[in-house]
Amino acid sequence: MCLTKLITSKIFKKYHKVRISTFLMVILCVLLLSVQTTFAGDFKAVVVKENITPKVPKQLLGYGARLSEGILDSIYHQILILDDGNSKFALVSTDICVLSPATYDKVAKLVEKKFGIVRSNFWWSVTHTHSAPEVGAPGLPEAFMGERYKHPIDTNYTDLVTSKLLDGIEKGIQQLAPASLGVGWGHSSANINRRARDIDDVAFLGMNPDGAVDRRIGILKIVHKEDHRLMATVANYAIHGTVLGGQNLLISGDGPGVVAKYVEEKSGAPMLFINGAAGNLAPIYSVYPDARSGRMNMLRRLLGDKILMASKEILNYEDQISFSASEMDFLTPMKEGLKWPEALNEYIVDEKGTAKTIKVPVRFLNINDKIGIWASPLELFCEISNEVRERSPFPYTFYYGYTNGWLGYMLTEEEWEYKGYEPTVSPFVPNAGTRFGETVLSYLESELKSK
């Protein structure tokens, strides 16, 4: 009996250990799966399109002060929501000209309060069409072009634009679906350097075929995870929204709007047009009195088809996505004699009560350590973003301009010598552009890459 009990006891202990080991293995597998679900990035995405076309005449922003007399084509918010399983990111493309950083700040607070999307994860970019209504207070343009803003601020339209944006984000969060992400490059010759110079070497707004240009298209392609049906295209290209000139009184998304509509019709999914470093880049057909004489529909062929072609060439997709967004302030002296708008006092540093320093907020987004996107509220000259892209540690580096507000033109130091329109309406000193590019590169190579 004693021997039997001993053998039975040993067998029970061995069996018990096996059961415990098996149980622990099961628990470990569950934990590992749980960690993967929470942190590895089961990617979800959605795009929501909201019509913001006004039903009554509105003051148009771009060129001189003028009241609209009708609608050429509708204008929209295109709202992209990304979710990597850890946080949500909202990218908005809106068919308006420029936006005050103060207006962005107000909306960003609402977005964070209502949806928990923090400021660094909410990017509001505008296409820079010159044929869309004003939104919010004028901001920095009032410092240079005060004669345009003798009329009251249109709070009704600003409220409409804000409510449509918030509604779109709310819908998007509810409609998030499993997705995969692809990335690629395209090329288009739809733009041209607009800093024309005669033999006197004084720049004027025209065409300079020998000037610097950026003709790359940066493509993000989002497809359904299961069947790879297209959900959205994000196309990043540098071009002014100025096919239509100051004589036009019809509301329009201009060239970017025409291209977005065309790509959506051909692909079956919405397209966000995100402008780039277009400070010195115009469409090759520019400032015409109407869309027909400006051949605005030609941009369907010149740019729309090139976006579609580049999108088709993207064959590799990832559904395990992680992203990290961050922000830094670039500090640079203000141009002497500039009267800074009080509404933008958050964007300056007052040193000893006299000399002022401008704070330019720059946003960054690291996606899977392969895509590095940076954005600023500037009309940046393309030479600066071109150099950042060439020297960037990320295989895909995109610059999103006109994002989260507008703080004027930032030129290369060389272009200041040729004077003209852009230096006149720039709040910066001549060497700001060089230092800005180097500062952004340093951030891409260190802080953003480490994330």
pLDDT digits (tens, 9 = 90+) for 87-102: 999 999 999 999 999 9
39-62 residue pLDDT tens: 445 899 999 999 999 999 999 999
Q: Which of 171, 212, 174, 163 lies closest to 191, judged by CA?
A: 212
Amino acid at 117: I
Q: Has residue 268 got a pLDDT over 50?
A: yes
Q: How confident is the model at residue 353 (pLDDT cuts 50, 70, 90)?
A: low
- pLDDT band at residue 448 under the 50/70/90 scheme: confident
Question: Is 128 annotated to bind ligand?
Answer: yes
Q: What is the mean pLDDT of residues 399-410?
A: 98
Tokens of 114: 């209502």
For residue 242, give the DSSP letter.
-
What is the DSSP code (8-state) at residue 231? Answer: E
CB contact at 8 A, 159 and 167: no
Label residue 301 by pLDDT band (50, 70, 90). Answer: very high
pLDDT score at 40? 45
What is the Cα–Cα distance from 251 to 74, expressed in whole angstroms?
A: 7
pLDDT of residue 86: 94
Q: What is the H or E stretch that residue 112 is in?
A: helix 101-115
Q: Which two tokens stand for residue 3?
A: 């021997």
The answer to whether 61 and 134 have CB atoms below 8 angstroms apart is yes
Query: Each residue of 103-158: pLDDT tens digit?
Result: 999 999 999 999 999 999 999 999 999 999 999 999 999 999 888 899 999 999 99
Judged by DSSP in three states, 134 sits in coil
Contacts of 120 (CB under 8 A, 6+ apart): 325, 326, 327, 363
Q: Which of 399, 425, 429 is nearest to 412 (CA)?
A: 429
pLDDT number for residue 350:
77
What's the rounded Cα separation, in Å, for the pair 34 and 85? 12
Q: How far apart are CA 328 and CA 89, in angstroms?
A: 18
Task: Using the structure block, give the residue that is written with the tokens 């507000």.
Answer: 405
Rounded Cα gap, residues 196 and 210, in angstroms: 9
User: Three-state SS for 93?
Assistant: strand
Percent of the chain with pLDDT over 90: 86
CA 136-140-142 angle, 5° bins = 80
pLDDT computed for residue 42 by the predictor:
87
Predicted local confidence at residue 451, as pLDDT: 66
